[in-house]
Amino acid sequence: MITIKILIDSVEKVKKFSSIISKEHMDCELIEGVHILDAKSIMGIFSLDLKEPIQLKIYSDDKEILNKLKEFIVAEA
Q: Where are the domains of the chain?
A: 2-76
Give the pLDDT band of residue 3 (cuts 50, 70, 90). very high
Q: What is the pLDDT of residue 76?
A: 62
> Which neighbouring-strand residues pair with 32?
35
Q: Which residues of 17-31 are buried (b: 16+ CB within 10 A; e: fewer)?
A: bbeebeebeeebbbb
**What's the pLDDT at 75?**
74
CATH classification (class only), 2-76: alpha beta
Rg (Cα) of the chain, in Å, rounded?
A: 11
3-state helix, strand, coil in the chain (%, to 5): 30, 30, 40
- pLDDT given at position 50: 86
Task: List alpha helices for 23-75, DSSP H.
Answer: 42-46, 64-68
pLDDT 10s digits, 18-68: 999 999 889 999 999 898 999 999 899 988 888 999 999 999 888 888 999
